Structure 1
Amino acid sequence: MMSGLLATFVLLHFTAYAAANRELVLALEDTFEDFNLSLWKHELTLGGGGNFEFQWYTNNRTNSYVEDGVLHIMPTLTANDIGDAAVRGGSLNIWGTQPPNLCTGNMFYGCERNAGASGNYLNPVKSARIRTAESFSFTYGKVEIRAKLPRGDWLWPAIWMLPTDEQYGSWPASGEIDIMESRGNPPEYAPGGYNSYGSTLHWGVNVHQNQFPQTNQATTQEQKQDFTSDFHTYGLIWNETHLIGYLDTEDNPVLEVPITESFFDRGGWNQSVWSNPWRGRGNNAPFDRKFFLLINLAVGGVGGYFPDGAGKPWNNTDPDSVNKFYNAKDDWFPTWTQSFQIDSVRVWTYKDTEPTTGMPTTPTSSAMIQFLTSSTFTLVMLSLALSVGVFKVLN
């Protein structure tokens, strides 16, 4: 029978071998030969997310469509459909009557609004946000989305991921992974335009304790290059030991988050004051559960992504910010010259990870057999035999 020391040594060597030879398998591939609405479900809401953005997310082939193998998300003026007077003083009811057209988010008056009663215009822009929450989610692997970013002041394109089950509680306790966020403003826009983008992890014990500044990084293209002229690959590597967001190739990281401590310790919360939502889990919680994909094009908002000043026609503290935004449409709408374009979406998952539960499994028997028959195992056992022999002689 193996001694405890010998067993531990073999386990450590096997673990190192398995990590170095972990295999990725393609789990999702969409090259947009058609618009697969069984995979991609549209969100239907006026709510504006948590940032009180100004768009109305819809499902129609004006705002989201496939053409020549590319998915386009194209924002348009709501007035094109219902008229300018209705935007300024009318009402909208998008509750729906059948499963495909039911409103998906009622928070912040997301399913019904009345401009005449509220004094705030109806959402002046129609756009799209699609997700795989109902069709595909996974834990750990690699994501690559090839995209060309849009041009237009106050446009906000994003490629990101949210938790399927919110196992640790409401946002951001269960995490958020932002692979790419950018702005459609020109490069001279001080907070960053279409020549830059950021990658971010959102996490915290509650909505007021979001510690994303610790896990946020941006990259900027040099000189006159930008992300609207060509397609680029926006990538993510995600496993138990690190999360890495990268541009085009894995050796070009934008965001690197090694898992060297728990996120509770990373956040610096006092255990006598704050309850740890990730207690009993590994250091990578909340990023140890199933997540799904989202792609969207938002417009404006008052959450701070577009800071006040720098030519912005509204302030984040304005009670009628949407009115001031829409009243300036002659300034910003002519700048909307290019859609948000997605050429392909690919997701690889680890072969030794069970995607339906979000929990890693033990190494497969085939991996063990491969290890046992490898020269690495032979060298390890020879080393162990020599070590044990020397130990016995000395004792």
Structure 2
Amino acid sequence: MRNLFTLLAITFLTSIFSQQNVVDDFEGDGTISTWFGDDCGLNTNFSNPFKTGINTSNTVLKYIDKGGQYANVRFDVPVNFDLSTNHTFSVKIYVPSSSITGSEKNQISLKLQDGKISAPWSTQSEIIKTIVLNQWQTITFDFANDTYINLNETSAKPIDRKDFNRVLIQINDENNNSNVTAYIDDFLYDGTLNDNNNDNSGPDPVFNHLVWSDEFDGNGNLNTENWFKQIIPIINGQSWANGEIQHYTDRIDNSYVSNGTLKILAKKETYSKNGVTKNYTSARLNSKFAFTYGKIEIKAKMPFGAGTFPALWMLGQNITETGGYWAENFGTTGWPDCGEVDIIEHWGENQNFVQSALHNRSSFGGTVNKGGQVIQNASSEFHVYSLEWNANKMIFSVDNIVHYTYNPENKNIENWPYDAPQYLLFNVAILPNIASNFTESAMEIDYVRVYQEATASVFDIDNLTDVRVYPNPVNDKLTIKMPNLEGVSNVNLYNITGKKLYTFNQNSATQTHDFSFLKKGVYLLKIETKSKSKFIKIVKN
């Protein structure tokens, strides 16, 4: 019975991890974490202004189109939709007539796209429905039975396609400059995302081992063992990317530690370097630590001022960038092939909006690989900006609220240069639209911490005797025999690189465990009692 329970538990957990609903009630119970406004304002935590009819819920999504030519809101899902069986989306919507300018037809369209390519719109399939103003209504989009429009007329029927992973909602058409405000609630897809056939569907690694950090204690200059101040402009020794108009300096005036935080101070001042005079100064820091995979946490407060452009980000250690800390000894690859990861960016003119983005050969500059969220008091309060980066995906969040996941289905050199070391960069840039009354403002960082997965160590004591495992190699069932077992033994399963995959208990002297879920390969078992442990190599057929 115990073995049956183990098998059922594994089956149940596998089912839970491999299937996901796509739903959002905007009350904090949804599964959609990547809402994004494309030339359109949105607030996913807006108090319902019209608690009438079919919708008296407290919180809704507010959609604010202030004349964006192609304004829409959208979200991405980590696994492509399979519309062959379940093919209907539904949403509640309320559009007040007082919010509308222009003469466009009152309608809502739902568009499906492949958001993992550089031109997602080229894959689009769309259903358009008429709406009634000034009342809540439920609109359904059935891609099997409703009239749909494929942007590419040669595309297959939506129910025969497997490339959709992005959902867009657009109110009152596109290619216009009219205003419209809408309130959206209870988004639902009638199926689930099924990842059973995805090789990456196993449990994500747990990054809980602190490997590098800076708490920015003390006062004065930075810890030079951790940081390098990059000052040579990367474009012909004269200027920086993005149209930035500042000099980055290595002076303590622009980057220093005080009262327990790092300050990167952007200032309005005349400053000359290498024969070039500019009217603003700031700092750009490179970490002297590079790593592959992990969780990065940065507690920071953004600067004030329209035209300020702070960023907490990463570049490939292999970048050939002028004046960068790693370039001389590791530089082999240009941008964007080295891979750029913007953990967070902030624009002073959009005070409480923060965004994450990725730049690589598949999309760079005005990249499509991005997502963000509105937070409260970005420049007056500290927030924790996080990235979880593993071999399969990157997950970006603020204060534990996820706003973007990057997970290309078919990873290649074009879209995934992220299997090599990256290093951290912190900077505050000044853009040409800087406010005329700007004098100075700082980005403050309380701490930066990098966690990685704890792995099996060769220094673990291997002193547990009289343990047998059989058969080895194993097909589906592995028996562990521990004649001298007292109490419960903890068993950890690692892959050959030391990554922990699974933990279970040995509750009796002889117990058979189900290993059918494992792929073929070589693994390590670490069997532990209160005071002893033993490693045993097993082979899975």
TM-score when normalising by structure 1 = 0.59
Taking a change above 3 Å as real, the CA distance of residues 16 and 78 of structure 1, as seen in their structure-2 partners, is closer
User: How far apart in 2 are the matches of 1:374 and 1:61?
Assistant: 60
**Amino acid corresponding to residue 224 of structure 2 in structure 1:** L
Deviation at 1:370, TM superposition (A): 6.2
1:287 pairs, out of 415, 418, 426, with: 418
- How many residue pairs get matched? 266
**1:268-308 Cα shifts (integer Å, max 9, x gaps):** xxxxxxxxx56xxxxx730110000000000005xxxxxxx
Deviation at 1:361, TM superposition (A): 7.8
**1:72-108 Cα shifts (integer Å, max 9, x gaps):** 11112333xx6xxxxxxxxx44xxxxxxxxxxxxxxx
User: How far apart in 2 are the matches of 1:27 and 1:216?
Assistant: 28
Taking a change above 3 Å as real, the CA distance of residues 361 and 293 of structure 1, as seen in their structure-2 partners, is farther
Deviation at 1:29, TM superposition (A): 1.6
User: 2:262 matched to 1:78?
Assistant: no
Structure with greater proportional helix content: 1
User: How far apart in 2 are the matches of 1:298 and 1:348?
Assistant: 28
Deviation at 1:231, TM superposition (A): 0.2
User: How far apart in 1 are the matches of 2:498 and 2:367?
Assistant: 39
Structure with greater proportional strand content: 2
Which runs of 5 or more structure 2 residues have no equivalent in the other structure?
Answer: 1-13, 15-198, 320-330, 458-493, 519-541
SS state of the match for residue 512, structure 2?
A: helix
1:219 pairs, out of 373, 387, 404, with: 373
SS state of the match for residue 379, structure 1?
A: strand
- Contact 1:203–1:211 (Cα < 8 Å) also in 2: no
Give the match for residue 5 of structure 1.
Answer: none
Deviation at 1:259, TM superposition (A): 3.6
**Amino acid corresponding to residue 290 of structure 1 in structure 2:** P
CA-atom RMSD, angstroms?
3.6
Give the match for residue 113 of structure 1.
Answer: 275
Deviation at 1:59, TM superposition (A): 1.3
Taking a change above 3 Å as real, the CA distance of residues 369 and 163 of structure 1, as seen in their structure-2 partners, is closer
- Contact 1:240–1:259 (Cα < 8 Å) also in 2: no
User: How far apart in 1 are the matches of 2:361 and 2:289?
Assistant: 25
User: How far apart in 1 are the matches of 2:456 and 2:368?
Assistant: 28
Taking a change above 3 Å as real, the CA distance of residues 77 and 17 of structure 1, as seen in their structure-2 partners, is closer
- Contact 1:145–1:235 (Cα < 8 Å) also in 2: yes
Give the match for residue 173 of structure 1.
Answer: 337
1:130 pairs, out of 274, 282, 285, with: 285
Give the match for residue 309 of structure 2.
Answer: 156
User: How far apart in 2 are the matches of 1:383 and 1:55?
Assistant: 56
**1:31-81 Cα shifts (integer Å, max 9, x gaps):** 1014212211101134442223111111122111111101111112333xx
- Contact 1:150–1:340 (Cα < 8 Å) also in 2: yes
Deviation at 1:152, TM superposition (A): 1.4
**1:340-392 Cα shifts (integer Å, max 9, x gaps):** 100000001223499xxxxx983439x589669589x93305999xxxxxxxx
Deviation at 1:126, TM superposition (A): 1.0
SS state of the match for residue 514, structure 2?
A: helix
- Contact 1:168–1:286 (Cα < 8 Å) also in 2: no
Alignment of 1:93-104 (within 5 A): 93=273
Give the match for residue 353 of structure 2.
Answer: 196
SS state of the match for residue 231, structure 2?
A: coil
SS state of the match for residue 513, structure 2?
A: helix
User: How far apart in 2 are the matches of 1:285 and 1:179?
Assistant: 16
- Contact 1:152–1:332 (Cα < 8 Å) also in 2: no
Which runs of 5 or more structure 1 residues have no equivalent in the other structure?
Answer: 1-12, 83-91, 94-111, 115-121, 186-192, 264-276, 279-283, 302-311, 313-324, 355-359, 385-395
User: How far apart in 2 are the matches of 1:49 and 1:72?
Assistant: 21
**Amino acid corresponding to residue 259 of structure 2 in structure 1:** D
User: How far apart in 2 are the matches of 1:285 and 1:162?
Assistant: 13
User: How far apart in 2 are the matches of 1:361 and 1:137?
Assistant: 24
Give the match for residue 86 of structure 1.
Answer: none
User: 2:266 matched to 1:68?
Assistant: no
- Contact 2:495–2:501 (Cα < 8 Å) also in 1: no
Deviation at 1:194, TM superposition (A): 2.0
- Contact 1:144–1:233 (Cα < 8 Å) also in 2: yes
Taking a change above 3 Å as real, the CA distance of residues 23 and 237 of structure 1, as seen in their structure-2 partners, is closer
User: 2:437 matched to 1:332?
Assistant: yes
- Contact 1:30–1:346 (Cα < 8 Å) also in 2: yes
User: How far apart in 1 are the matches of 2:453 and 2:517?
Assistant: 31
More contact order relative to length (CA 8 Å, sep ≥ 6) = 1
**1:173-209 Cα shifts (integer Å, max 9, x gaps):** 1210000111123xxxxxxx1211110010116xxx6
Give the match for residue 254 of structure 1.
Answer: 403
Give the match for residue 315 of structure 1.
Answer: none
- Contact 1:234–1:247 (Cα < 8 Å) also in 2: yes
- Contact 2:200–2:392 (Cα < 8 Å) also in 1: no
User: How far apart in 1 are the matches of 2:456 and 2:409?
Assistant: 21
TM-score when normalising by structure 2 = 0.44
SS state of the match for residue 244, structure 2?
A: coil
Deviation at 1:140, TM superposition (A): 0.3
Taking a change above 3 Å as real, the CA distance of residues 40 and 362 of structure 1, as seen in their structure-2 partners, is same
Deviation at 1:20, TM superposition (A): 5.6
SS state of the match for residue 291, structure 2?
A: coil
Taking a change above 3 Å as real, the CA distance of residues 286 and 157 of structure 1, as seen in their structure-2 partners, is same
SS state of the match for residue 124, structure 1?
A: strand
**Structure ID, larger Rg:** 2
- Contact 1:138–1:349 (Cα < 8 Å) also in 2: no
Give the match for residue 87 of structure 2.
Answer: none
SS state of the match for residue 51, structure 1?
A: helix
2:229 pairs, out of 32, 42, 67, with: 42
Taking a change above 3 Å as real, the CA distance of residues 48 and 352 of structure 1, as seen in their structure-2 partners, is farther
2:393 pairs, out of 242, 247, 258, with: 242
Give the match for residue 349 of structure 1.
Answer: 452
